[in-house]
Chain A
Amino acid sequence: MARSSSLLYLDGVSVSFDGFKALNELSLTIAPGEMRAIIGPNGAGKTTMMDVITGKTRPDSGEVFFNGTVDLTGEDEASIAELGIGRKFQKPTVFESHTVWDNLELALKAPRGPFATLFHVISGGEKKRVEYLLDLIRLGSKRHELAANLSHGQKQWLEIGMLLAQDPKLLLVDEPAAGMTDAETAETAELLKDIANDHSVVVVEHDMVFVRSLGVKVTVLHEGSVLAEGSLDHVSADERVVEVYLGR
């Protein structure tokens, strides 16, 4: 796919730490509105890829473009977030000493400067938006709870809610189903599918059942580059993928 028509465009991206190549000539393209699942064994470079996209790690070489025109390698985390890329961490990270409501309010799309927040007064529209998200992530009854007191699954959901509050064009979701019960996993898959209706989503996941339930195109990473791409059935039939996963 051409760079101009892509939402996210990675080409030949390499990152190494002290000689260890975490990413090796990685190329990946996400179309607007697409939902993509990324799988791969430990150390395949999934998290490093997220770090490169969100500005946490600078690539040694390669191109990273957002919306076809914006070069992400020159931007920091905050401006990339403002461009419209939201990220959920592997380990759920919410603001534990804030309430659920405050967590969402902080994530809402609004001016991010210190003086803007200093004199900020929450508007009716913002309140409605928070209420809507609370409903969506099913934490309405916990709105005044401290985030620290939520269960693991609830924290995952809260983080997804915060992601949505940012109203990003692209969501990077790192292992959303980790540590969830089967029922929760299924609900999370439904939630992500809903979200994918009006956002582009990249999901990194280990859980094959979960990936299957998403029913989207899958990219397999191995040793920092793309090993295979296609539907889940297609990649599971690929011998190299089987070898990587089962060590044969």
Chain B
Amino acid sequence: MELLNLTAVKLAEKIKAGEVSAVDAVQAVLAQIEKTEETYNCYVTIDREGALAEAERVQREIEAGNLTGPLAGVPVAIKDNMCTQGMLTTCSSKILGNFIPTFSSEAVVNLQKAGAIIIGKTNMDEFAMGSTTETSAFGATRNPWNDAHVPGGSSGGSAAAVAANECFYALGSDTGGSIRQPAGYCGVVGMKPTYGTVSRYGLIAYGSSLDQIGPLCKDVTDCATIMEVIASHDTKDSTSMPREDYNFTEALVDDVRGMKIGIPRDYFGEGLDPEVAAAVKAAAKVLEEKGAIVEEFDLDLVGYAIPTYYTIAAAEASSNLERFDGVKYGYRAEDADELHRMYKRTRSEGFGPEVKRRIMLGSFVLSSGYYDAYYLKALKVKALIKKAFDEAFAKYDIILGPVAPTTAPKLGESLSDPIKMYLGDIYTISVNLAGLPGICLPCGLDEKGLPIGLQLIGDCFAEKKLIQAAYTYEMARGAFEKPAGREE
């Protein structure tokens, strides 16, 4: 259907012009969900009635001239780790299987103020721990390009929903690549902003010092537009930072002349699929032809990023997830006759294996006698990684590389070997450790017809450079193909 193929910004323009209504848009999305959701399982919760009612309200506001923003009336999907007032928020975990928040996360509030209509909550790896969306307690999500493959993760439901036209755009969260990698696997655009740009208030924490909310969407224009709406300085989040400039759409300029782009040799070593390498290098060539100065360089410490990340993220997660104990909300084991048995059984039954693995890992690295050797050392390496990036950004405006070593693996291939799954995060996690912004956009298909993701990394607060380079590449690349498997 034509309407569904519109980008979020184009749809909003048509709504504003009175060519279609917000209700039409929601109905179109719900119709598409009817057709494809059974196959892809993008959502944990679909709020059909709520979305239609909200669409009617928003439509009236648009007609009354009260809602004039560039996303007014556009249906959005929200990753299920962001609190939505009155709407189930599960983190794809049994332990929060019945949890209905009393407040909405700040990013969601910002969207709603701009006239966004929430279709539902998207599936994810349980508590955002995973790279495939297979660790969800509510079943795996499948990749709309080929449903035998995973959509990536942890924001796999959001990425797949955008690719499957089950929404016009979505919010995801990125702790170690959880927006960028599924965007790459699903052939959509995903951005992880500089740490502190989008409020974490209402985002159910995984690794608090690494988590950032960001958009998953159809093109770079949508990405910049969504960023403008969700980014804000929020006094409810101590790590939220005021920025001088929120005009991300200003950077939608088709020009990279003189821009310095560095390609880390370390990102093209062992383990990288040759098809992915070729597509990413070809993308770099495109930017060079558009006037950018492209160079290869050595980015130190890449090899240390994975152990550092899994130490810090697991440590924080082990503490962040302590509050899920059956006392106040969520799942509680039945018939436990004593407090500690209730805790143990609730958490044993409520959490899945990957979450338990990371809680144990995190508890271990924080335990007395090991803290200095693991956690403290990881913090020191984190600081060194940041320094290595600082040095790189003294020379380059942007760092360019792949988002993942391969295209989307088949379902079931990754979980059997967690270490292999962790290694798949190699290109994305150092960005989180250094608090940097990163964007992923599709740059080709492999032989199997699966999308390949191009990742651009910027210095802190340099989202506009990323947007400009990504937009320029997108203009040169032309419209990206549609998923072959997607039912229309």
Do the two chains bind?
no
Chain A interface (Cβ < 8 Å from any Cβ of B): none
Chain B interface (Cβ < 8 Å from any Cβ of A): none
